[in-house]
Amino acid sequence: MSACIWYISKYVGFPADRVGERAFLLLREIAREGHHCIIFTSNSSHMLARPDFDGFHKTEQMDGVEVCKIRTLKYRGAKSLGRILSWLHFEWLLWRLPKQAFRKPDAVIVSSLSLLTIFNGLLLRRRYGCRLIFEVRDIWPLTLIEEGGFSPRNPFVAALGMVERLGYRRSDAIIGTMPNLKEHVAEQVGASLPVHCIPQGIDETRIDAAETLPPDYVAAHIPEGKFLVCHAGTIGATNALDTLFDCARIMRDDPRVHFLIVGDGDLKDHYRALCADLPNVSFAPAVPKAMVQDVLKRCDLLYFSVHVSKVWKYGQSLNKVIDYMLAGRPILASYSGYPSMVDESGGGSYVPAGDVEALHSEILRYAGMTPAERAAIGAAARDWLLSNRAYDRLARDYLEIALPTQVAV
């Protein structure tokens, strides 16, 4: 029997966007299994530019998924009052939405952020008698405390903590993108609840859609004859790149190794000035999504980093890691947290976050390997990714959690 699933999140990306497509790709696969899937989201985000439209909501079909976009207060900046007001506006308009225009749900998934959506989720479960799934893609308010510098005693943070605990206690199932969310939930509610992990996945259609870099980009930005250590992605405060640049300074006289930073972000100009005297560091512009794989495959070692933070105690599921693993190159991360993906695949290694000497030693270890040895490590990462993180597989796992009695159509 065909089931109907509502997925509600203020922030949902789509294939044309650069970020946040996970929800759509999961729902698309569930729809292909014969179920009816509806996404309720907002046209307001600090990460993406979304056009306005007439009326307060707009519904369209996208690759078998019904998408309802709600016109919500626009704002600028992740840390702004406007963002909170936009959350409240979204919840108010979602509550007022003429729901009789949509098929009755068998399951409602509310996904952070915003945590406030759990209130609409609870009302919808009462109205329709459906299952309620609480999905955690970003652990708030812990991220506000650890990454944003807010005090746990801040009234706003304390209020969000109460909302978070309500979601854990009152939902029929809890799903996180991070593999060790169960420990965090137990710490918050004082009980061991069933917690599942449905992480980021790989959209296999991207493999065939990959494009080659223009020759002039390669000539201008990809050094030849060097062991290339690459960080590709946003260049901002959360990316913890100081460790990498400190390591580059230590290795400035090593002619073998070059550090390539690909992307844009708030701190790019700052780091460019900081590294102006380093001959072994270069910055390249961001490339279209379809060309990211070509950049990565031209490098020898792919790097990402995080700050020391309790957030990582519960694991990671970063889009960057998906891209890196797909490229089939060894991965090195400055990461102190619950290990996953890289270590499971044998596709690379971790060093403690912020430890410059450990990073230096590990880069030298990879540089000393033969190309065949590095290729074997990269191939292990790619093979593991394709075997374990394809969205059709993740969607079946999700469906078993959301509607355990209606897995088959």
Tokens of 287: 């490339």
Check if the beta carbon of residue 244 is closer than 8 Å to that of residue 334: yes
Residue 1: the pLDDT is 77
131 within a domain of the structure (yes/no): yes
| Listed range (53-57, 67-71, 302-306, 324-328) with the worst mean pLDDT | 53-57
Residues 128-184: tens digit of each pLDDT: 999 999 999 999 999 999 988 899 999 999 999 999 999 999 999 999 999 999 999
Among 256, 196, 404, 232, smallest CA distance to 325 is for 232
Helix (H, G, I), strand (E, B) or coil at 173: strand
Q: How far apart are CA 360 and CA 327, in angstroms?
A: 23
**Per-residue pLDDT for 304 more than 50?**
yes
Instruction: Say if residue 301 is in the same domain as residue 191.
Output: no
Question: Over 70: is that where the pLDDT of 409 sits?
Answer: no
- pTM, two decimal places: 0.93
Domain contains 409: no
**pLDDT at residue 295 above 70?**
yes
Tell me the torsion sign for CA atoms 67, 69, 70, 76.
Answer: positive
* pLDDT the model gives residue 94: 97
12-17, long-range: CB < 8 A, 24+ apart: 12/39, 12/41, 13/47, 13/48, 14/62, 14/67, 15/63, 15/203, 17/48
Rounded distance, CA 237 to CA 313, Å?
A: 19
User: 146 and 249 share a domain?
Assistant: no
Spatial separation of the C-alpha atoms in residues 241 and 304, rounded to whole Å: 8
Average pLDDT over residues 104-119: 96
Q: In terms of domains, do 143 and 191 share one?
A: yes
Residue 407 lies in a domain: no
Same domain, yes or no: 38 and 153: yes
Q: What is the pLDDT of residue 264?
A: 94
- Structural domain including 97 reads 4-201+390-402
Show Cβ contacts of residue 344 under 8 Å, excluding neighbours closer than 6 positions: 384, 388
Among 43-52, 106-115, 123-132, 134-143, the least confident range: 43-52
257 and 190, same domain (yes or no): no
Do 112 and 250 belong together in one domain?
A: no
Q: In the chain, what is the straight-line distance between the N-terminal and C-terminal CA atoms, in Å?
A: 5
Same domain, 170 and 222: no
- Shared domain for 135 and 181, answered yes or no, is yes
Considering the domain boundaries, does residue 90 fall inside one? yes
How many CA within 13 A on the CB side of residue 130?
26
Looking up residue 309, the CATH number of its domain turns out to be 3.40.50.2000
Interval 81-108 mean pLDDT: 96
Q: Are residues 86 and 211 in the same domain?
A: no
Q: How many domains does the chain have?
A: 2
**Amino acid 46: pLDDT:** 81
Residues 38 and 143 in one domain: yes
Q: What tokens were used for 48? A: 């993406």
Give the chain's length: 409
DSSP string, 111-138: ESSPTTHHHHHHHHHHHH--EEEEEESS
Is residue 77 one of the residues assigned to a domain?
yes
Classify each residue of 229-246 as buried b or exposed e, where b means 16 or more C-beta atoms within 10 Å of its C-beta: bbbbbbbeebbbbbbbbb
Q: How far apart are CA 162 and CA 348, in angstroms?
A: 39
Measure the CA–CA gap between 259 and 297, rounded to whole angstroms. 15
Whether the CB-CB separation of 245 and 281 falls below 8 Å is answered with: yes
Decide if 233 is inside a domain: yes
Task: Say if residue 112 is in the same domain as residue 240.
Answer: no
b/e map of 137-161 (b: 16 or more CB within 10 Å)? bbbbbbbbbbbeebeeeeeebeebb
- Whether residue 91 is contained in a domain is answered as yes
Is the dihedral angle over the CA atoms 224, 226, 227, 228 positive or is it negative?
A: negative
pLDDT tens column, 182-239: 999 999 999 889 999 999 999 888 788 889 999 999 999 999 999 999 999 999 988 9
Is the model's pLDDT at 93 over the cut of 70? yes
- Quickly state the pLDDT bin for 51 (edges 50, 70, 90): confident
Statement: residue 408 has pLDDT above 70: no
pLDDT band at 49 (very low <50, low <70, confident <90, very high): confident
Q: Contact 144/238 with Cβ under 8 angstroms?
A: no
Residue 68 lies in a domain: yes
Give the pLDDT score at 407.
Answer: 55
Same domain membership, residue 231 and residue 281: yes
